[in-house]
Amino acid sequence: MKDKPRGEGGVTAIRYDFSNNRNMCAVSCGQILLDPMVAAQVTSTYVDWLNDTEVNAYLEVRHHRQTIDGAMAYVAAKIAEPHTCLFAAYENGRFIGTAKLDSFRPYHGTAMVAFMFGEKSVWGRGLGSQMVMAACHFGFQRIGLRKINAGCYGRNIASHKLLEKCGFSLEGCQTDQVMTKDGPDDVLIFGLLASAYPHASFPAAFADAN
């Protein structure tokens, strides 16, 4: 365990115990339950999401055809990484997507959040913001992060609005950073400090007491 420096706004940071995902547990927000992902959740449905051009339009997986074996290997690698927390997202018991905390910088108390909202039948219901805030709740309250960052393509207006709804602030722009089918696009960088985490707007809870 590292020392606990003071974060922004007097928030005490950082409980740097990421090793082997020992702090992993389920966390809920609204109608969304995030459960630590396991290999059994890599099904044909999951792989179909990865290959769906609407789902993967702004994801790096779009560059290669995804397979069960490849997805299994990816999930197994992420589960084994000591500085990655990979979750399966459920709504009323149905697997609808994934969320991830990674790129941990233990001496700074920061990480990146990323998400995939695979089940298109539930798009437009506000569940994406609940998914992101459940992951942020885990990062801030379970791990003790000081700040969480996120990135999205400039043309990905839906993710841009979702992150702002969750309290993230736009902090920077990497101009023409990526190539898309429509040509070069920017990458927008967002940040959310623990001191600005909107608990009241997105109440979340851990699903166990570990």
Q: To 5 degrees, how large is the angle CA 62–CA 118–CA 35?
A: 120
Q: Are 145 and 122 in contact (CB under 8 A)?
A: no
State pTM to two decimals: 0.84
pLDDT, tens digit only, all 210 positions of the chain: 333 333 333 333 334 444 434 467 899 999 999 999 998 899 999 999 999 999 989 888 888 999 999 999 999 999 988 889 999 999 999 999 999 999 999 889 999 999 999 999 999 999 999 999 999 999 998 889 999 999 999 999 999 999 999 999 999 999 999 998 889 999 999 999 999 987 656 666 666 534
Residues near 77 by beta carbon (within 8 Å), at least 6 away in sequence: none
Which CATH code, of 2.30.30.90, 3.40.50.1370, 3.90.950.10, 3.40.630.30, is assigned to 8-206? 3.40.630.30
How far is residue 149's CA from residue 191's CA, in Å, rounded to a whole number? Answer: 4
Burial annotation 35-48 (CB, 10 A radius, 16+ → b, else e): bbbeeebbeeebbe
